[in-house]
Structures are given as C-alpha cells and as structure tokens.
Amino acid sequence: MKQETPEKGKPLISVNHVRKVYRMGDEKVVALDDVSLSIYKGEIVCFLGTSGSGKSTFLNMVAGLEKPTKGEIFIGNIPIHKLNEERVTLFRQKNIGFIFQAYHLLPMLTAQENVSLPLIFRGVDKKKRTKMAKQMMKAVGLSGYEKRKPTQMSGGQQQRVGIARALVGTPKIIFADEPTGNLDTNTTKEVMNLIVDQVRSHGQTLILVTHDRSIANYADKVVTIQDGNILNVEVKSQTQEASRQEQAGQKEDKK
C-alpha cells in the first residue's frame, strides 16, 4: 500500500505556549505547562506518558473539548482556542474522528448503524451513508457483521467498529486515546496495523495517546510528556526536520 509522506512547510496543527490549570477548591493543578508543538499533515504522532502526565489533556485541548488557560491552538488557520461551543462542534464533525479505549459504541444500534453516526451529523442521506458504512466495515475486515450489536462482538471486533466510525467520513485528523488499552497483545498489533494502514492510505494525521512504548513504535514522532511538560520529541522521519529545529528552539526558550 502506498504511503503518504508527511508534508514539510506550514504545520497542520500549531500549539503555542499552552498552559492548562484546573482549580480544585483552593488548590491549583497544572495539567499543561507552557507546551508548544507543531504537527504536520500526514504525520502519526504519539504522546507517551504515564497516567496524569498531561497527555490526554493535550488531546482534549487540540480537539477543542477543553479551553486552554493560556496559549493558542491552530488547526490550519482556525483558532480552535477561540471558537465557541457551537462552532467547535461543527468543526469536529467535519474534520476530526475519535477512537476510544472503551469503544463508546451505542449498544442499541447495530455495528453498521454505529459506523454511520458521524455521517448523520454531517447530513449525509441514508442511502449514501449506508453504502459508505458498508465499505468502511469491509475495509476494517468486518464484512458480514453489519447487523450485529456490540454485545455480540469481541473486544477486538468492537474496536474495529470504533475505527470504522472514526474513519468513515475521511476526516483530516484522527485522535486515538489509548486505542488498544482493553485489547490483548495479538489483537493490539492487528488493530494498530489496521489504523496505520488506513490513515497512511488517505494521508490523514493521527494523534495517539498511550502509556505503552510498543504503540509509540508506530509513530513518526514520539512526544514524551511528564508533569505537564514535554520532555523529549523523537522524530523518526527525516522529512520532519522542521520538528527537530522546533525541539531545539524549545530547549533554548527554557534556558
């Protein structure tokens, strides 16, 4: 399968000096502390860290699920940090897909109906979304499972449905929060290969959040995060020299 090479030039996602502070009574908890990062079109980026490191908070910031206390977040030319709830919701529906650890499938719907959900929010007519959902289920190896309910499927099959749902509208960006956390080792490999093959073939950008170093091996760029700070940015692709320069710049800023 042909792989898309991540583009040089202007980043798809720009995170500039983002800080996130939660208030718990009289106490302040700093979840992210002056974080800056660029992510390019077609990149697979993994945020690696333990529970409480700030990696999921970062994902929520970029997806517009939470607002930063300080700083800026741009996707293309769109200032995500400035959008109101209605506008950021519409943006997510058109541009972003989510893969969750706990699958988050609706139990009363069939697999095909679950896959079709994002297309309903986009206003795709029933005939077209049924066709698109069937094609996507075939792509993830679930032909013949269209009418099954989630409770009639294994964990690996349910995650494949979740992947199909995230990818069905070919969104620009896929966010995957511990996507294999509930899966065994063999199923984890199958699911990760499936996700990577799909996003590579469509030139999509994938942002992974995990504590598992083996998952980080699938990424072009591995961002190690701890206590709300980026400790290291490991770039595996030579096409991302701009990111290497960015890392060097961050070190200079902190001196």
Residue at 238: amino acid letter: Q
Tokens 């511990």 -> residue: 178
| Residue 55: both structure tokens together | 């990696």
How far apart are alpha carbons 238 and 244 in whole angstroms? 9
pLDDT at 157 over 60: yes
Spatial neighbors of 181 by CB under 8 A, at least 6 apart, are: 101, 210, 212
Could you give the residue ranges of the DSSP H alpha helices within the chain?
A: 55-62, 85-95, 111-121, 126-139, 155-167, 185-201, 213-216, 241-253
User: pLDDT at position 147, please?
Assistant: 95
In this predicted model, what pLDDT tens digit does every residue of 97-126 receive, in sequence order? 998 888 889 999 999 999 999 999 888 899
What does the DSSP 8-state code read for residue 238? G
Tell me the percentage of the chain whose pLDDT exceeds 70.
89
Residue 253 confidence class, pLDDT cut points 50, 70, 90: low
Tokens 């989630």 -> residue: 150
Tokens 């929520």 -> residue: 60
Q: According to CATH, what is the number of the domain 41-67+82-243?
A: 3.40.50.300
Tokens 């699911």 -> residue: 191
pTM: 0.83
How far apart are alpha carbons 47 and 25 in whole angstroms? 29
The residues spanned by each domain of the chain are 41-67+82-243
In this predicted model, what pLDDT tens digit does every residue of 26-63 receive, in sequence order? 889 999 999 999 999 999 999 999 988 999 999 999 99
In this predicted model, what pLDDT tens digit does every residue of 159-175 receive, in sequence order? 899 999 999 989 999 99
Collapsing DSSP to helix, strand or coil, 22 comes out as strand
The answer to whether the CB of 67 falls within 8 A of the CB of 31 is no
